[in-house]
Amino acid sequence: MKQPAFQFQTIIFELSLSAILYTLFYFLNLWLTSRISPEVGAHWIFIPAGISLLLSLVLPITGPLGITLAVFPIAYLVRFPGELIPSIGIAIIAGFAPYISRHVVVDGLKINHDLSNLCVKNLVLCVLIYSTIRAMLHHYWYVFVNLRDLGSDGLIIELVGNSVGTLLVLLVFKFFAGLYINRNTKIR
């Protein structure tokens, strides 16, 4: 049985890791794509979407919570300075979308909770489901708080950006995981 102090330390570590990773990739993405982002909150390539999905797949509770903790100060201090209500909504959606997507995928596609039977087809479906849920929730929130028009291209741009960013992250993750696995297999 795990000790309560160890569990607490693990939770704090996972929350911190999630928040730091999301923040780092958010600012990297902002630096790389700020010139090609035509709508408020919409990016043609959004790498943090991939980090969000990856974190929610690996850390089902602490990943989305860490993302939410990271997004609020980014939204409140950087993206929409002083706008409390839009920032709270954006933070909740940023954490809630991957959490809901994980449950839709795990339950709907009958994926094991440890992801051991996650095949390429289901991974692509996971990316599309997640990208769609995230884009729709963000778009309609931006419309609700008057940061975007309902008929704007933001929804399509976010859907594309989330999908591209998520695929990029998963491909890079797969590449490095393959290197790690191959290196450790050769040692044995």
Q: How many CB atoms lie within 10 A of CB 106?
A: 18
Q: Which residues contact 122 (CB under 8 A, 6 or more apart)?
A: 105, 109, 111
* E strand or H helix that includes residue 147: none
Q: Report the distance separating Cα 153 and Cα 43, nearest Å.
A: 11
Q: pLDDT at residue 128 above 80?
A: yes
Q: Report the distance separating Cα 136 and Cα 69, nearest Å.
A: 21
Q: Which residues contact 7 (CB under 8 A, 6 or more apart)?
A: none
Q: Report the distance separating Cα 75 and Cα 90, nearest Å.
A: 7
Instruction: Identify the three-state secondary structure at position 42.
Output: strand
pLDDT in tens, 92-106: 999 999 999 888 888
Domains and CATH numbers, the chain: 4-187 (1.10.1760)
Q: What pLDDT is stored for residue 185 in this prediction?
A: 61
Question: If 0-12 CB within 10 Å is exposed, 13-18 middle and 19+ buried, where does residue 165 land?
Answer: buried
Q: How far is CA 66 from CA 16, 17, 18, 20, in A?
A: 6, 8, 5, 8
Asked if residue 63 lies in contact with residue 14, where contact means CB atoms within 8 angstroms, the answer is yes
Q: Which residues contact 166 (CB under 8 A, 6 or more apart)?
A: 49, 50, 53, 127, 130, 131
pLDDT in tens, 5-41: 679 999 999 999 999 999 999 999 988 887 776 666 6
- Record the pTM: 0.85
Q: How confident is the model at residue 2 (pLDDT cuts 50, 70, 90)?
A: low
Q: Report the distance separating Cα 176 and Cα 184, nearest Å.
A: 12
